[in-house]
């Protein structure tokens, strides 16, 4: 407020807008953040509950309009919408199985457009990455590329946004492939999407500190649960362990590691590849929000 000492009346007082934001704008920003957070958590939770998103239609409208998901996590909204569509497909498949009416052709028909959107989105991001490297005078990330990115905060910020989006997009492919092809890490579609997620995570690690991975519990758990061989499993285990004691105390990182380990051990002990994060949670008697 701007006050004077000459007996001014309350009507003379004007809001202090030195911050550059009007009060109603601050309220709008807070509301958008809360709505975006609810939409984001609604979509991520479906991997644990196997339900369709409760706000599926609202998400499609809001995330393509007034809600900026980057205020919550630097992940482009098309990936969030794809994750919501995959969750809806998973719920449709479960309903069809329960009524003995599942058509695998229909499942593929509904899932293939989502796959195409993810593939096109990833290809577009890769093209953006290549262009940004070319502008820096390098052909790929590597040590030199990472140094040049880290030396330019503006470039680093955009690079991190693209890298995080790539991590979620590739993990979404793991999610989708377990629904269409089956929850077996020996299947090519599943194995390849796990490897792609690992590659995206490793690229992200070159340009940000380990604590940034605390925002990536969902993709780490989705892809890590479907890791087949010991080196891949060791990699995902180290991602969680390297987050440190604080992350383990105040987040779901410890439980996430237990979920992945349950998948790995159960597949080995039972000789069955049909274990994934949701079946592991069920066997543990938990439904964990992977954030």
Name the CA radius of gyration of the chain, rounded.
Answer: 22
Residue 66 is assigned to a structural domain of this protein: yes
Task: Provide the pLDDT confidence category of residue 21 given band limits of 50, 70 and 90.
Answer: very low
Query: How far is residue 266 CA from its own chain's centroid?
Result: 25
pLDDT surpasses 70 at 247: no
Residue 16 is assigned to a structural domain of this protein: no
How confident is the model over 257-282, as a mean pLDDT? 89
Residue 133 is assigned to a structural domain of this protein: yes
pTM of model > 0.75: yes
**d(C-alpha 89, C-alpha 100), whole Å:** 16
Query: How far is residue 73 CA from its own chain's centroid?
Result: 9
DSSP annotation of 229 reads S
Predicted local distance difference test score (pLDDT) of residue 11:
41
Predicted local distance difference test score (pLDDT) of residue 213:
86
Instruction: List phi, psi (to 5°) of 76.
Output: -65, 145
Predicted local distance difference test score (pLDDT) of residue 230:
95
Predicted local distance difference test score (pLDDT) of residue 177:
97
Q: Which residue has the higher pLDDT, 28 or 283?
A: 283
Task: Provide the pLDDT confidence category of residue 29 given band limits of 50, 70 and 90.
Answer: confident
Q: Which residue has the higher pLDDT, 245 or 55?
A: 55
Express each pLDDT in 30-73 by its tens digit. 787 888 888 889 999 999 988 999 988 888 888 877 787 776 77
Q: Which residue has the higher pLDDT, 251 or 107?
A: 107
Predicted local distance difference test score (pLDDT) of residue 3:
36
Other CB atoms within 10 Å distance of the CB of residue 63:
22
Residue 3 is assigned to a structural domain of this protein: no
**d(C-alpha 84, C-alpha 141), whole Å:** 31
Q: Which residue has the higher pLDDT, 25 or 167?
A: 167
Q: What burial letters (b/e) apply to 99-124, b meaning 16+ CB within 10 Å?
A: eeeeeeeebeebbeebbebbeebbee
Express each pLDDT in 139-195 by its tens digit. 566 666 665 666 677 777 788 888 999 999 999 999 999 999 999 999 999 999 999
Predicted local distance difference test score (pLDDT) of residue 154:
73
**d(C-alpha 227, C-alpha 178), whole Å:** 12
- Number of separate domains in the chain: 1
Domain that holds residue 101: 22-284
Residue 278 is assigned to a structural domain of this protein: yes
Task: Provide the pLDDT confidence category of residue 249 given band limits of 50, 70 and 90.
Answer: low
Q: Residue holding tokens 């080196």?
A: 231
Residue 117 is assigned to a structural domain of this protein: yes
Residue 7 is assigned to a structural domain of this protein: no
Other CB atoms within 10 Å distance of the CB of residue 55:
17
Q: Which residue has the higher pLDDT, 154 or 25?
A: 154
290: left (phi over 0), alpha (psi -120 to 50) or beta: beta
Predicted local distance difference test score (pLDDT) of residue 4:
39
What does pLDDT average to over the chain? 84
Q: Which residue has the higher pLDDT, 124 or 56?
A: 124
Nearest to 213 by CA among 158, 153, 167: 167
Residue 212 is assigned to a structural domain of this protein: yes
Q: What is the 3-state secondary structure (H, E, C) of 60-104?
A: HHHCCCCCCHHHCCCCCHHHHHHHHHHHHHHHHHHHHHHCCCCCH
Residue 48 three-state SS? helix
pLDDT surpasses 50 at 275: yes
Predicted local distance difference test score (pLDDT) of residue 88:
95
Nearest to 123 by CA among 181, 131, 221: 131
How confident is the model over 255-283, as a mean pLDDT? 90
């Amino acid at each position: 407020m701007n006050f004077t000492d000459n007996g001014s009346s309350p009507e003379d007082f004007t809001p202090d807008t030195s911050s550059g934001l009007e009060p109603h704008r601050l309220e709008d920003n807070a509301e958008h953040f809360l709505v975006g957070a609810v939409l984001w958590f609604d979509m991520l939770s479906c991997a644990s509950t196997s339900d369709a998103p409760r706000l599926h239609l609202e998400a499609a409208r809001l995330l393509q309009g007034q809600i900026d998901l980057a205020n919550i996590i630097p992940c482009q909204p098309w990936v969030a919408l794809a994750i919501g569509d995959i969750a809806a497909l998973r719920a449709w498949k479960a309903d069809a199985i329960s009524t003995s009416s599942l058509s695998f052709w229909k499942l593929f028909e509904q899932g293939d457009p989502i796959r195409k959107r993810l593939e096109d989105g990833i290809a577009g991001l890769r093209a953006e990455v290549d262009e940004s490297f070319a502008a820096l005078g390098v052909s790929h990330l590597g040590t030199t590329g990472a140094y040049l990115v880290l030396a330019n905060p503006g470039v680093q910020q955009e690079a991190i946004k693209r890298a995080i989006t790539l991590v979620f997009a590739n993990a979404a492919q793991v999610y989708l492939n377990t629904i269409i092809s089956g929850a077996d890490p020996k299947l090519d579609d599943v194995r390849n999407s796990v490897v792609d997620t690992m590659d995206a995570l490793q690229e992200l690690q070159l340009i940000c500190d380990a604590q940034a991975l605390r925002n990536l519990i969902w993709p780490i758990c989705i892809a890590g649960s479907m890791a087949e061989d010991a080196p891949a499993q060791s990699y995902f285990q180290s991602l969680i362990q390297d987050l440190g004691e604080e992350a383990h105390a105040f987040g779901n990182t410890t439980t996430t590691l237990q979920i992945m380990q349950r998948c790995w051990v159960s597949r080995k002990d039972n000789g069955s590849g049909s274990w994934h994060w949701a079946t592991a949670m069920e066997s543990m008697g938990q439904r964990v929000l992977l954030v």
